Amino acid sequence: MQNIVVYGAGGHAKAVIDAIEKAGLYHIAGLLDGFKTAGTFVYGYEILGDESWLASNAESISSGIVAVGDNWSRSRIAAAIISINPAFTFITAVHPASSIAKGASIGEGTVVMAGAVINSDTRIGDHCVLYPNTSVDHDCTVGSFVTFAPKAATGGNVNIGNYSVISLGANIIHGRTIGENTVIGAGSTVLSDIGSHAIAYGTPARFVRKREPGERYL
């Protein structure tokens, strides 16, 4: 079984660890986290240090996943890891209680949690998060570093740009496009296209204000 590291030791990381353990494809050698004390433990896994730990251990471990909830933070950490070890590979973590249909594809570093559904011929990009009971219907295209919060759902043929967030219980009807770096608020219903760098919410969802690149949503 391949040894991996998980970057992160907070609540989101615990959910990612559960998906990895349930899938049974990888052995978690330890956790990396710049805000936790090295030598302490989370769920029985030792915190080894921050990403700089990889520089002196590249020969033994060169695979893992970034388990940080915020999209922009996840992207910065992934880039830092690659700058330290260009040969590092990111795994996907797919909970066995999820449903992945024929023809669907999932990018590296992406997490699919229990109860999530990815339907036929949908493409999910790199380093995305699909929380429990999310549903992405057929023939959708989802960019990289995108988050679907619990119970978020789309119809078919939906396109979602990089770094966007579909919040708790939000719904997007068939054939709509969400731009990049856009947040759809909790409980919203998207009936028309929403552009990039926006925060939109309501039923129907409407543009509320501009969202800056790198702005946190958590």
Pairing of strands 177-178, 159-160: parallel
Domain residues for 31? Answer: 2-90
- In the chain, how many H helices and how many E strands? 2, 25
Is there a domain that residue 153 lies in? Answer: yes
In the numeric block, the tokens 């770096």 are attached to 181
Annotated active-site residue 138? The verdict is: yes
In whole angstroms, what is the distance from residue 59 CA to residue 88 CA?
10
The last residue of a domain, from among 30, 57, 90: 90
Same domain, 70 and 99: no
Same domain, 189 and 163: yes
The domain that holds 7 is classified in CATH as: 3.40.50.20
The last residue of a domain, from among 90, 121, 155: 90
Same domain, 44 and 12: yes
In whole angstroms, what is the distance from residue 178 CA to residue 136 CA?
13
Is there a domain that residue 50 lies in? Answer: yes
Same domain, 20 and 106: no
Percent of the chain's residues with pLDDT above 90: 89
The one catalytic residue in 95, 127, 138, 197 is 138
Mean pLDDT in residue range 91-96: 97
In whole angstroms, what is the distance from residue 137 CA to residue 158 CA?
8
69 labeled part of a ligand binding site: yes
pLDDT in tens, 6-56: 999 999 999 999 999 999 999 999 999 988 889 999 999 999 998 889 888
Same domain, 99 and 85: no
Q: What's 70's DSSP letter? A: S
pLDDT band at residue 218 under the 50/70/90 scheme? low
pLDDT in tens, 138-165: 999 999 999 999 999 999 999 999 999 9
Q: What's 196's DSSP letter? A: S
Same domain, 50 and 110: no
In whole angstroms, what is the distance from residue 7 CA to residue 67 CA?
5
pLDDT band at residue 217 under the 50/70/90 scheme? confident
